[in-house]
């Protein structure tokens, strides 16, 4: 019984949102993202991390971000998928589908 209690809990994936505080497009995408994550209890699926690209050039380079806004799913310490310049809720949901319940 003790062995089953000590099993490692799988950490939920991180959803990294690379954005710029000065971009209207990024604010729109943040709204789309909020809508998607609130549906069907999706809000518990990811650990949402917001990265302001203007203040974090090293992370932008490390993740090879070419377009702002960009969404990156990080699981098992690796980038598992990326979506540059999401076009709306449906676009984001299609991208996140493998991780959503």
Give the CATH number, domain containing residue 78: 3.40.30.10
Its pTM stands at 0.85
Residue 3 included in any domain: no
Question: Splitting the chain (101 residues) into consecutive groups of 10 residues, what average pLDDT does each group show?
Answer: 43 93 95 88 83 96 96 94 96 92 68
Domain annotation covers residue 29? yes
- Residue 4 belongs to some domain of the structure: no
- Domain presence at residue 2: no
What's the domain range around 58? Answer: 11-96
Report the sign of the C-alpha dihedral through residues 96, 97, 99, 101, in that order: positive
Q: How confident is the model at residue 38, as a pLDDT? A: 87
pLDDT at 4: 39
Answer yes or no: is 75 within a domain.
yes
Q: Which residues contact 83 (CB under 8 A, 6 or more apart)?
A: 70, 71, 72, 91, 92, 95
The per-residue pLDDT for 45 is 86
- Domains of the chain: total: 1
pLDDT at 8: 47
């Amino acid at each position: 019984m003790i062995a089953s209690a000590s099993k490692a809990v799988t950490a939920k994936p991180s959803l990294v949102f690379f954005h710029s505080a000065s971009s209207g497009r990024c604010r729109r995408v943040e709204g789309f993202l909020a809508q998607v994550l609130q549906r069907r209890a999706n809000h518990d699926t990811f650990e949402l991390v917001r990265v302001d690209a203007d203040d974090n050039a090293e992370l932008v380079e490390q993740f090879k971000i070419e377009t702002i806004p960009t969404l990156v799913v990080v699981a098992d310490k690796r980038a598992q998928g990326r979506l540059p310049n999401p076009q709306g809720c449906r676009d984001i949901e299609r991208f996140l589908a493998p991780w959503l319940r």
